[in-house]
């Protein structure tokens, strides 16, 4: 009986590892192909390059025309960084209002916020574009960064739940000691909600880093403003000949921030997904 159970345990591990290997194969293949300097890259099924070298990396980094990937990475960092700062700060302020506010109408506001959670961005794509066009913001990152400073529904939801779990006794005793509504936020709730702020910040950063549709709508015509995502798309334009080795090299670099975040902050990500169903 016992050996049978052990056998099943081993078989299970083999199955899980086997499927896992298939799952991760495309990513491994891309990583290995970024070191492939033989032009046979397309046909290879296996992982190991015919000829190993680093030449793809400088070739890819040279970028598009006048602009190298230094520029594109800087743009991506700028966009993801500012949008994340904006989203995290404003969402925590709003979540505090939903969690601790006592003003009339706050339940309705919260319900509206939940409603926008179900309202997909693509539905607003056209009208928002036209609105930002009217405002004269098209052609810059303003349409992507400025709205971030007015909260993100997912993060407000996540943070409100977290703040609701912070004992109310803490703010009540602070209040008795003369702390105002503002003081309770900066001295009690904000410091105690650091873990959820980190989770939100990581997700926001990854999403913005990966964002393709936003920059496609707003900075498409200006290569000097391209984030990495747009640069990669133009790099592998189906209508021209693509240097696949160089493309894979830049792809690997473009995925690095997300991979590093995964390696070092796994706990926060898993927490965020399992408690709220955030999409990773």
Partner 1 sequence: MRKFLLKDNVAGVVFALPFIIGFLSFTIVPMLLSAYYSFTRFNILRPPEWIGLENYRRMLTDERLRESLFATFYFVFASVPLRLIMALAVAMLLFKSTKMMGIYRAMYYLPSMLGGSVAVAILWRRMFFATGTFNSILDVFGLNRNFAWLGDSRTAIWVLILLAIWQFGSAMLIFLASLKQIPTTYYEAASIDGASKVRQFFKLTLPLITPTIFFNLMMQTIAGFLTFNSAFLISQGGPFNSTNFFALYMYNHTFSWGNAGYASALAWFMLSVLAVTTGILFGTRRFWVYDGGFS
Residue 77 main-chain phi, psi, to 5 deg: -65, -40
Closest CA to 87 of 157, 155, 160: 155
CB-CB contact of 33 with 49 (8 Å):
yes
Q: Is 109 an interacting residue with respect to partner 1 (CB under 8 A)?
A: yes
Angle separating helix axes 153-164 and 244-276, nearest 10 degrees = 40
Of the listed pieces 25-33, 48-56, 59-67, 162-170, which binds partner 1 according to CB under 8 A? 25-33
| Nearest approach, Cβ of residue 1 and partner 1 (Å) | 14
Candidate residues 1, 169, 182, 240; the one interacting with partner 1 per rule CB under 8 A: 182
Binding-site size, partner 1 (CB under 8 A): 91
| Nearest approach, Cβ of residue 9 and partner 1 (Å) | 9
| Nearest approach, Cβ of residue 53 and partner 1 (Å) | 20
Candidate residues 67, 77, 82, 149; the one interacting with partner 1 per rule CB under 8 A: 149
Of the listed pieces 49-57, 63-71, 160-168, 227-235, which binds partner 1 according to CB under 8 A? 227-235
36-95 residues near partner 1, rule: CB under 8 A: 42-45, 90, 93-94
CA atoms lying within 13 Å on the CB side of residue 275: 18
Spell out the long-range contacts of 160-169 with Cβ–Cβ below 8 A and sequence spacing 24 or more: 160/95, 160/98, 160/99, 160/110, 161/275, 161/276, 162/95, 162/193, 162/195, 162/196, 163/95, 163/96, 163/99, 163/100, 163/189, 163/193, 163/196, 164/99, 166/99, 166/192, 166/193
234-273 residues near partner 1, rule: CB under 8 A: 236, 238, 244, 247-248, 250-252, 254-255, 258-259, 262, 266, 269-270, 273
Nearer to partner 1, 66 or 182 (CB): 182
Q: Is 200 an interacting residue with respect to partner 1 (CB under 8 A)?
A: no
Q: Is 280 an interacting residue with respect to partner 1 (CB under 8 A)?
A: yes
Nearer to partner 1, 20 or 53 (CB): 20
Q: Is 188 an interacting residue with respect to partner 1 (CB under 8 A)?
A: no
| Nearest approach, Cβ of residue 78 and partner 1 (Å) | 18
Candidate residues 6, 7, 12, 164; the one interacting with partner 1 per rule CB under 8 A: 12
Give the integer Cα–Cα distance in Å for 155 and 88.
8
């Amino acid at each position: 009986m016992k050996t049978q159970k052990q056998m099943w345990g081993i078989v299970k591990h083999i199955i899980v590892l086997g499927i896992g290997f298939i799952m991760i194969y495309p990513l491994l293949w891309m990583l290995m192909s970024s070191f492939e300097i033989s032009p046979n890259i397309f046909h290879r099924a296996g992982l190991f390059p015919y000829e190993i070298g680093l030449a793809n990396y400088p070739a890819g980094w040279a970028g598009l025309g006048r602009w190298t990937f230094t520029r594109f990475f800087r743009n991506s960092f700028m966009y993801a960084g500012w949008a994340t700062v904006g989203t995290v700060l404003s969402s925590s302020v709003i979540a505090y209002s939903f969690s601790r506010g006592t003003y009339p109408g706050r339940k309705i506001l919260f319900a509206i916020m939940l409603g926008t959670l179900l309202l997909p961005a693509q539905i607003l794509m056209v009208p928002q574009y036209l609105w930002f066009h009217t405002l004269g913001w098209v052609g810059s990152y303003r349409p992507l960064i400025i709205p971030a400073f007015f909260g993100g529904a997912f993060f407000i939801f996540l943070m409100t739940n977290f703040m609701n779990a912070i004992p109310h006794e803490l703010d009540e005793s602070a209040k008795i000691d003369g702390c105002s509504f503002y003081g309770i936020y900066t001295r009690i709730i904000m410091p105690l909600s650091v873990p959820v702020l980190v989770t939100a910040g990581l997700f926001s950063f990854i999403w913005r880093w990966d964002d393709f549709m936003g920059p496609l709508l707003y900075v498409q015509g200006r290569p000097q403003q391209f984030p990495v995502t747009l640069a990669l798309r133009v790099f592998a334009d189906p209508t021209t000949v693509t240097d696949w080795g160089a493309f894979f090299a830049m792809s690997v670099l473009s995925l690095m921030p997300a991979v590093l975040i995964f390696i070092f902050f796994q706990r926060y990500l898993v927490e965020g997904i399992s408690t709220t169903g955030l999409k990773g």
